[in-house]
Structures are given as C-alpha cells and as structure tokens.
Structure 1
Amino acid sequence: MNFRSIRPSRHAKTLAGIALVSALAACSTSHDANAPTAENLAAPLDAYLAQRGDICLAMVDWPIDLTEAEAGAGARHAIQFPVMEQLGLVHSTIVAVPKSSENPDGAVKRFELTDAGRKFYKPHASAAKGAEQQQPVNDFCVAHLKREQIVDVKVDASNAQHPMAVVSYTYQIDTAPWMQDANAQRVFPMVARIANGAGGKLQLRQGFTRGDKGWVAQTGPV
C-alpha cells in the first residue's frame, strides 16, 4: 500500500489536532511535584544551602584557651590559631590559671577574636547545641556554598510513605578573602579542598526525605 496516496480528510485533521491538545494538557496536569527529580529537588536544596550552606570551623565559644598540653601535642587549635593571629583574626594573651598536669606552669594562652575576626563569627544553624534548641548559635564561618547544578539523584523507596533521595550536585563557593593565604589553606585543608573543587571539579551530596509538605533536607551525613 502506498501511504503517500492516503490523505486524511479535513475532519480527521481536526480530530487529530484535538487529540494532540488533549494529550499535551494531560501531560502538563499530571506533573508530580513530589517526584524525586532534579527539577523538584532544586528548590529544597537551594533553601537548605541558604540556611545551612556555611562552612564553619566549630569554634563556637570564645575566648578559647590553649593549654600547654594541647600546644605540646599539636592539637588543631595549636596549629590553626598562630596562623589566624598572623592574619589578624585573633589575638592572644597569657592568662594565669591554677596549676595542673596540663598546665604545670599555671598559665594558658587565651585567644580572642579581633574586630576583623568577628566579621566571620555569625549565627550558624548546624552549630545549635542540643536537639531541643531551635535557635542557631554563633560559629566562626569561612565560606558559603550555593548550588551550581544537580548531576544525580538516587532514590530509596523502601519506605513508600516517606521515600528518601540523595542529591549529588556541583557548587559555587564564596570564601573569606584570607582563605587565599597559603598558610590558611595549609591549616584548614578541608576548607581549601572544598574551595578548590567548586565549579564542577567536586560534587557534594545532600540527603532528603519526602514529608507531608514535600522534600525536607536531612541534617546528618549521607
């Protein structure tokens, strides 16, 4: 049969057009806003990063004392604080304290934030103390993340009512200017690694659970 010889009637063309419009309308109205797609998870991820996208150093309670024992053992503060002091973020004084096995000389080195350092000491939701505490507490934060592109979504639907999804994404990062310093990158290697991985070089992951009001970010590791 020569299909070219068959010409649909004007009426048939009209019916076909109606069928096409109806099909498109059905597609547009059947979109599931709760489906675990990159499109649906982009807004929850952006909202999460807006609130919790700061990279902070778990330096919550200032001033911070450095004992002789910590200094001798090469504790992280003993390595980081001298560099922070060189960068003008903290200043130190020697303070007398009761003698102990950790402080046989009866002194600690006390570090306090300078005016320059206080610019980076700000509310951080992830630093809230205790599950019952709703308000964030301050932490020393050195960078902020924003989503660049979602590259993968893995779904665990074992719980049909509340499925889980893990989003892998590339990101952009806004770092403190002093993190360009080579010594700062040396004593904060994880921050430096994340900063150097921006723009698609590194992917981060974020977990979500679908609740009654849509996708909700998990705060724990994934």
Structure 2
Amino acid sequence: MNKFSISLLSVLTASTLAACSNKTDLNQDNISAGLTTYLAKRGDLCLAKNVWPIDVTQKDVDTGGRNAIQMPILEKLGLAQSSVATVTATEEGVSAEIKVRRYTLTENGKKYYLNKEMRSVRSDGDIKLQQGDLCAAKLSLDKVIGWEEAKTNDSSKMVAVSYTYKVDAAPWTADADIQKVFPMVDRVVRGAGSMVLKESFKLTGEGWVAVDL
C-alpha cells in the first residue's frame, strides 16, 4: 500500500511540474528545443561558393586568391569541372578581353549545393543574405552546455547559449587537400562532440528563439 502511494505521488508530482512548465521557461528542455530548430534551419556548414560558374583569372592565380587555391581541389574531387572562357574585364577604366578558367558544378557537386537562403555575418556585424551555397556538412545538437543572460537595451530577455554539436559530413571532407584549403570547415568537422559553439536566443511568445532566425 505504501509503495503504491509513493509511486502514485511521484507520478502526480511529475505531472504537476510538467503542467506548470511552459515553453517560455528558461530551462534545458526549452533551450534544447530552440537550438534544434535553429540548427535545422541554419546548421549547414558551407564553403561560401554561392554563385556559379566561378571564374578564376591569371591575376587571381598570381596573387594566390581564394578561388585560385580552392577551386582546383574541388575539381580534383569531382565536385567541379573547368574550361577556358573569354570575358571582358575592366581595370582602371580600360576594358579588354581576357582568358579565365571557368568552373561549373558537376552532377556530383550539385548534390551538395543547397538552393536556399544562406546567412553570413560580415566583419562589421551586418548580416549578408545570399541564395544557395555548396555545403560540406550539416550540424545538429549534441548537448546544451549552459547559458548566460545577456544585457539588452530594453525589457526583452536574451541569453547566450553554449553547446556542442553532432556533424553529418560529406565524405570528401576527409580529403587532406580539402582540409588544407578549407581549414575552418575541417576544424568544425573535427570538433563534433567537443568544440563549443555559442548562439544568442531571445524570449518570444513562442518560446526561446535564436536571434539569427
């Protein structure tokens, strides 16, 4: 009789606590739910290769430009293919036709191109919106490490959340040359389960929502 009473009391207590909790509470479950939603929408790890075809000039090669270094590696892995094209370039007010190495996505490369709105943060803090990108991995939530309340200029509530993540990476991210020319991608992929990321969340009527959404 006593065991039954204790078990029943435990069930009733748990039910009462669940009923009292709501999606605006600052707790592990609600923050985890917010992060899961955020990563489902913004958890794509991409290469900043938004607009195709991508042309590489001799000047890019001579100065060690990003595309001049990275595009041949994508071609080596069968994600891109190149040909020679002629374009009109203007420098110091003078126009001239020049030869470029033009890269396009292969059928295999198209499998990793996500045609959706992508956001990136500029060095000045502004948000840059672009349509589509070539992506290397998808992040999902591993666990919430903790959070700190952030100061705001009004009565709104914000927290800075620290978390670790899981990663579903494309097989070509294991290539040594890719890791060399895309070091940040390599760092994030290798950091699955251990690297701590941060994201800001604000309290809304629908619960805790990532500021970046």
Bucket of the pairwise TM-score, normalised by the shorter protein: 0.7 to 0.9
Conservation of the 8 A alpha-carbon contact between 2:148 and 2:160 = yes
Conservation of the 8 A alpha-carbon contact between 1:54 and 1:124 = no
TM-aligned CA distance change 1:110 to 1:202, over 3 Å: same
**Does 1:119 find its partner at 2:111?**
yes
1:63 paired residue number:
53
Match of 2:157 among 150, 159, 163: 163
* Matching residue's letter, 2:195: L
* Matching residue's letter, 1:109: R
Question: Deviations 1:153-188 (Å, cap 9, x if unpaired)?
Answer: 111265674200111111110111111110011011
**Does 1:204 find its partner at 2:194?**
no
State how far apart, in whole Å, the 2-side matches of 1:99 and 1:124 are: 30
Conservation of the 8 A alpha-carbon contact between 2:24 and 2:30 = yes
Q: TM-score, normalised by structure 2?
A: 0.81
How many percent of aligned residue pairs carry the same amino acid?
36
TM-aligned CA distance change 1:106 to 1:28, over 3 Å: closer
Unaligned runs of 5+ in 2: 1-5, 121-126
TM-aligned CA distance change 1:120 to 1:26, over 3 Å: closer
Conservation of the 8 A alpha-carbon contact between 1:97 and 1:106 = yes
Q: CA RMSD in A?
A: 3.0
Shift of 1:45: 0.8
Question: Deviations 1:22-70 (Å, cap 9, x if unpaired)?
Answer: x947645432431222221111110111111101122111101112211
- Secondary structure in 1 matching 2:184: helix
Identify the structure with the greater strand proportion: 2
Conservation of the 8 A alpha-carbon contact between 2:86 and 2:100 = yes
Query: What is the 5 A alignment of 1:41-60?
Result: 41-60=31-50
* Larger RCO (alpha carbons 8 Å, 6+ apart): 2
State how far apart, in whole Å, the 2-side matches of 1:127 and 1:198 are: 22
Shift of 1:219: 1.6
Higher Cα Rg, which structure: 1
State how far apart, in whole Å, the 2-side matches of 1:99 and 1:42 are: 50
**Does 1:110 find its partner at 2:102?**
yes
State how far apart, in whole Å, the 1-side matches of 2:16 and 2:185 are: 48
Q: TM-score, normalised by structure 1?
A: 0.78
Shift of 1:114: 0.6
TM-aligned CA distance change 1:151 to 1:86, over 3 Å: same
Question: Between Structure 1 and Structure 2, how many residues are aligned?
Answer: 197
State how far apart, in whole Å, the 2-side matches of 1:158 and 1:139 are: 33
Conservation of the 8 A alpha-carbon contact between 1:167 and 1:207 = yes
State how far apart, in whole Å, the 1-side matches of 2:104 and 2:96 are: 23
Unaligned runs of 5+ in 1: 1-16
State how far apart, in whole Å, the 1-side matches of 2:139 and 2:98 are: 43
**Does 1:173 find its partner at 2:167?**
yes
* Matching residue's letter, 2:175: D
